[in-house]
Chains A and B, each alone.
Chain A
Amino acid sequence: MNPTTLLIILPLVAGAALLFIKTPLAKTIALGVALLQLAITAYAYYFAELTPQAQFVTNIPWVESLGISYYVGMDGISLLLVMLTNFLLPLIILSSFRKTFEKPNVFYGLMLIMQSALVGVFVARDAFLFYIFWELALIPVYFICLLWGGENRNKITFKFFIYTLVGSLIMLIGIIYLFLKTDGSSFAYEAFVNLSLSSTEQTFLFWAFFLAFAIKMPVFPFHTWQPDTYTNAPAQGTMLLSGIMLKMGIYGVIRWMIPVLPDAMYYWGTVAIFLSITGIVYASVIAIMQKDFKRLIAYSSIAHVGLISAGIFTGTIEGLQGAIIQMLSHGLCAVGLFFIVDILYDRMNTHEIEKLGGIRNVAPQFALYFAIVMLGSVSLPLTSGFVGEYMLFVGVFKFNPWSAAVAGLTIILGAVYMLNAYKKIMLGETKPETSRFNDLYLTEKIVLIAVSFFILYMGIYPKTFLELSEPAAQSLIEVAMQNLSVR
């Protein structure tokens, strides 16, 4: 069977089954499925060739009268994101192993369904299919946040749901418009790329898509759902949201906007870059004074994503490749950091920075992995964060040197808020409350070692990943250049 389809079906079926089977083994089953999924991904990686074309393709008509097909496949970019998803999922599941949830079968079932939807988004080459997976991904995470979230979960989750839904409905209008432009024949990626659209049409479509993607990432000023949602969601929900789900938005820009709307990207990209860079500085500055560590990381995520978004909209190969590598790095760091928050919460019942302190004395191993993930997050060279950020800066600099200078403030501000948080949480004299802080348990250690290992590996030898996406990224830029009527 085609690994692409298998990767969608396996977690979907397993997840759906788990929803209805009450079993104490739910988490073990979920982990098993996720590991199997990882093995299939490894298989795909092993047999993938370094070409710009999509591989492992299946294209069968689905609703023929509407031109909808089940059309999936993976080029290098898709493959990397599938690898990210399927690498992180077992870790996210493992990270929950020391917890007990009410209705564990539902919790883990939803997680697997989420995994299926995420893979679907990254491999769909039919816009309607893409849209279905896009919306499907919202449902499980919505319930995860709603059922297992914190205090104000109803209100916050509702806002998150409506906000992202509004964005995607507008995108749906865009997709339908494009479909109509193909004379109602196809939703296929190639059909959309081959369309010739006037610049007015492109402008309208640009904003329709941009809104959906910008809300998902989120880009300033569409971000206000994010800090509340991230802070209130259960740790695993936050990991899913920040580690993988926000990449849907970035991926959407890469997959659909760059090749289909090159003129509008050229004209309106400037506005998107402006918003992104504003968001970098804005979120970094806000992060400095945050009292809640989880919220601090939520804001730092907005800053990091802002740079990724800015890099993509420059339309440079450095920006694009940088964005792709940075998505992977951000996924690792976000999962690592939110897990660290969860470990703190597990022991101390709080993520308020002032209530912690001196933990390094009693938990040296925790301190070590926390430090590595933090350094990845502040993009120290020889960690994954640097590779992507450096390329992104090159891309933004090519677009406009002053933008790069402003965006670059993040390397200073990022150091300020991350080191400050580390200092207040980990360093100094141990307080009475923190004196009985247990160092890492085995499952926790496995997760943090896996994350730390890849943070360093990607920083030292990113070629493993760069070479995978390079042909596809290159051809995407070429296609955009061909379709560009402005020149």
Chain B
Amino acid sequence: MLNLVFLIPLLPLTGFLILGSLNNRLPKTIVSFVGCGTVLGSFVIVLTLLSGTLSGTITSATISYFDWIYAGDLNLKMSFLIDPLSVLMMTIITGVGFLIHVYSAGYMHEDSGFVRYFAFLNLFVFSMLLLVMGSNYVVMFAGWEGVGLCSYLLIGFWFKKDAYNDAAQKAFVMNRIGDLGFLLGMILIFTTFGSLDYDDVFKNATSVLTENSGVAIAITLLLFIGATGKSAQIPLYTWLPDAMAGPTPVSALIHAATMVTAGIYMVVRSNILYSLAPFTLDVILAIGLATALFAASMGLFQNDIKKVLAYSTVSQLGYMFFALGLGAFSAGMFHVTTHAFFKALLFLGAGSVIHALHHEQDIRNMGGLSKKLPITFLTFLTATLAIAGIPPFAGFFSKDEILAAAYERSPVLWALGLAGALMTTFYMFRLLFVTFFGTFRGTDEQKHHLHESPLVMTIPLMVLALLSIIGGFIGVPEVLGGSNFLKNFLSSVIIPYGEKHEHLSHSTEWILMTTSTLAVIATIIMAYVIFVVKKSVPAEDNKISGLQKLIYNKYYVDEIYDTLFSKPVTFLSKIFHSVVESKIVDATVNAVGKAVSASSKILRLSQSGNISYYLYVMVIGIILILFINNIL
């Protein structure tokens, strides 16, 4: 079973190479077949690994292929690690990835860049698999930057539009800022441990690092800087909302279900290191929580269907980091999993709406779509219930586990976490009601063409809806009669964090669960009253003011960054070029040259000739040697 592992990333890579080299010479059916088929092939092999890890025949296997980068003690191999954590991620990537590929075959059918699209999507799956399969940090980093490249290529997929290209470039550059942190963290691991293989590092972590030592904090913080870029956390989150410029299935796959969770995967993978740096965990907790709340607040007033989902993603990722900061690593992974289902579904549902309305994305021009798009509506509703955390939908269990972990630490954290969940519920139901309820507010022509999407798009929606309903059962807590299967599955990879393990009493858990569920239901009712009963529609852009305007304009963070970073660098560049370079450095060189030539007639001679001067100098050199040689 392990001898086929190399095929898992290689199949999508082959798909990329085939599609990339035969650009536009293939019929679309074959293109979809190659694009989807390669990912399906990987998925099937991943399933065999999954059954192996579930039955216990595979616990942890490292497979090395060849030497990659080496010098002295540095010895990096191209090698993969197959263990429950990587298999879980591989299942999500290839499984959800396959569904989104299939959906794309319908969604992108009319696009002239159809082949290029599937080539890039295959390349993305390859890179993402490399990221989670690598058995050392540098292979992870290769995948890490690889997905960044694919993200860049797909955000700017419609490369004729300047705004899209700007968004793509912004994503790449902001990720690179994080990547510098990752790179330095990696090198610090190497200089500390003499290795970058997970096995060596984690085995020796407790003996090499003392808790909360400077090195432990530095390593974990630097790696976390990388995570803030890739997973769109404060302060590097601003690229993700702009990334919605890409085709909607791309947003579903890359900017919701898989790539952006890479940062969480990385922290969970390194959980042993993070456990040794409680200070860093506190930082992660603070940043995760702040991002969760901040992004959720921005989601409240957005009117672009994809922007709402984008801020929701940033916020949910913050939620996951919140969990990691609490030391609840498996809860974080649990939320990664359920989020992959329902957020992919939300984006694909949004795509179905956009498809039906011919690229309309403003929810103020929608309304009453539930009758015309029944499958899209029902699946979107399922996902909305899941993200809001209504039992027994998937999001309920994963969110509940995070909130329970928060309460264990402090009731205040629990309350803040709940506040984030309620904001999420509100903006999601606002989105649902404004889009699907009431009357249609678009043009007559749009109304005339309204249609449900074809089966190739709705089947993935239904599968994901099913997963959003049942996905949570992999982590049912004890209090509800479950055994938290996922936590046990990951127990060989995740060491329990924290010395005191006073679990919450069952009665407390019941109270928390009931309270949060009731609060969520109350929020839904509130949204229902505002947007369905009172039929209010979000105001025009120029009719908003005060706090709402501030939030609608995303707190002007982009503008602040522009003033703080872009403009100074531009200014510095101009100064360096026009002042330092020509007026100082080069002027000094010229002055030295002039001084020499003024004092030396030999050098002045050189201005008349070229080769003769050169030979002249050579001769002088030789004479000099003879001269010195004879004297000594």
| A381/B142 contact (C-beta < 8 A), A358-B160, A411-B180 known | yes
Complex interface: chain B residues within 8 A of A66 (CB): 625-626, 629
Q: List residues 173-190 of chain B with CB under 8 A from any CB of chain A.
A: 173, 176-177, 179-180, 183-184, 187-188, 190
CA distance A387 to B576 in the complex (A): 30
Complex interface: chain B residues within 8 A of A411 (CB): 176, 179-180, 183
Question: For the complex, is A256 an interface residue (Cβ under 8 Å from B)?
Answer: no
Interface size on B, residues (CB 8 A): 66
| A288/B165 contact (C-beta < 8 A), A364-B23, A394-B74 known | no
B69 with A462: CB separation less than 8 A: yes
A282 with B576: CB separation less than 8 A: yes
B183 with A415: CB separation less than 8 A: no
* Min distance, Cβ A368 to any Cβ of chain B, angstroms: 8
* Min distance, Cβ B280 to any Cβ of chain A, angstroms: 17
A224 with B585: CB separation less than 8 A: yes
* Min distance, Cβ B585 to any Cβ of chain A, angstroms: 5
User: Which of chain B's residues has its CB closest to A317's CB?
Assistant: B72
Question: For the complex, is B577 an interface residue (Cβ under 8 Å from A)?
Answer: yes
Question: For the complex, is A354 an interface residue (Cβ under 8 Å from B)?
Answer: no
Question: For the complex, is A76 an interface residue (Cβ under 8 Å from B)?
Answer: no
Question: For the complex, is A203 an interface residue (Cβ under 8 Å from B)?
Answer: no
* Min distance, Cβ B155 to any Cβ of chain A, angstroms: 12
Binding-face segment, B323-331, B406-414, B477-485, B567-575? B567-575
Q: List residues 147-186 of chain B with CB under 8 A from any CB of chain A.
A: 149, 152, 156, 159-162, 165-166, 169, 172-173, 176-177, 179-180, 183-184
A397 with B173: CB separation less than 8 A: no
Question: For the complex, is B191 an interface residue (Cβ under 8 Å from A)?
Answer: yes
Q: List residues 392-415 of chain A with CB under 8 A from any CB of chain B.
A: 393-394, 397-398, 401, 404-405, 408-409, 411-413, 415
Which secondary structure characterizes the binding site on chain A? helix
Question: For the complex, is A165 an interface residue (Cβ under 8 Å from B)?
Answer: yes
Question: For the complex, is A15 an interface residue (Cβ under 8 Å from B)?
Answer: no
Q: CB-defined interface of A317-339 with B at 8 Å, one 1/0 digit per residue?
A: 11011100000000000000000
* Min distance, Cβ B181 to any Cβ of chain A, angstroms: 9
Complex interface: chain A residues within 8 A of B588 (CB): 221
Interface size on A, residues (CB 8 A): 77
Q: CB-defined interface of B127-154 with A at 8 Å, one 1/0 digit per residue?
A: 0000000000010011011100100100
A470 with B173: CB separation less than 8 A: no
Complex interface: chain B residues within 8 A of A360 (CB): 159
Question: For the complex, is B68 an interface residue (Cβ under 8 Å from A)?
Answer: yes
CA distance A375 to B166 in the complex (A): 18
Which secondary structure characterizes the binding site on chain B? helix
Question: For the complex, is A380 an interface residue (Cβ under 8 Å from B)?
Answer: yes
| A408/B190 contact (C-beta < 8 A), A139-B614, A316-B72, A427-B165 known | no
* Pick from A162, A184, A290: contact of B632, CB under 8 Å: A184
CA distance A321 to B67 in the complex (A): 15
CA distance A412 to B179 in the complex (A): 9
Question: For the complex, is A163 an interface residue (Cβ under 8 Å from B)?
Answer: yes
| A419/B172 contact (C-beta < 8 A), A66-B629, A142-B610, A364-B23 known | yes
A381 with B146: CB separation less than 8 A: yes
* Pick from B71, B187, B626: contact of A470, CB under 8 Å: B71
Question: For the complex, is A148 an interface residue (Cβ under 8 Å from B)?
Answer: no
A176 with B69: CB separation less than 8 A: no
A135 with B618: CB separation less than 8 A: yes
Q: CB-defined interface of A219-231 with B at 8 Å, one 1/0 digit per residue?
A: 0111111000000
Q: A162-B606, A163-B589, A393-B187 are in contact. List 5 more A-B contacts (CB 8 A).
A: A165-B617, A184-B632, A225-B589, A318-B71, A405-B180
Which B residues lie at the A interface, using CB under 8 A?
23, 66-72, 74, 138, 141-142, 144-146, 149, 152, 156, 159-162, 165-166, 169, 172-173, 176-177, 179-180, 183-184, 187-188, 190-191, 569-570, 572-574, 576-577, 580-581, 585-586, 588-589, 593, 603, 606-607, 610-611, 614, 617-618, 621, 624-626, 628-629, 632
Which A residues lie at the B interface, using CB under 8 A?
65-66, 135, 138-139, 142, 146, 158-159, 161-163, 165, 169, 172, 176, 179-180, 184, 220-225, 282, 285-290, 316-318, 320-322, 358, 360-361, 364, 375, 380-382, 386-387, 390-391, 393-394, 397-398, 401, 404-405, 408-409, 411-413, 415-416, 419-420, 423, 426-429, 461-463, 466, 470, 473
Chain A to chain B: the 7 pairs with minimum beta-carbon distance, closest first: A381-B142, A317-B72, A321-B71, A224-B586, A289-B573, A288-B573, A427-B159
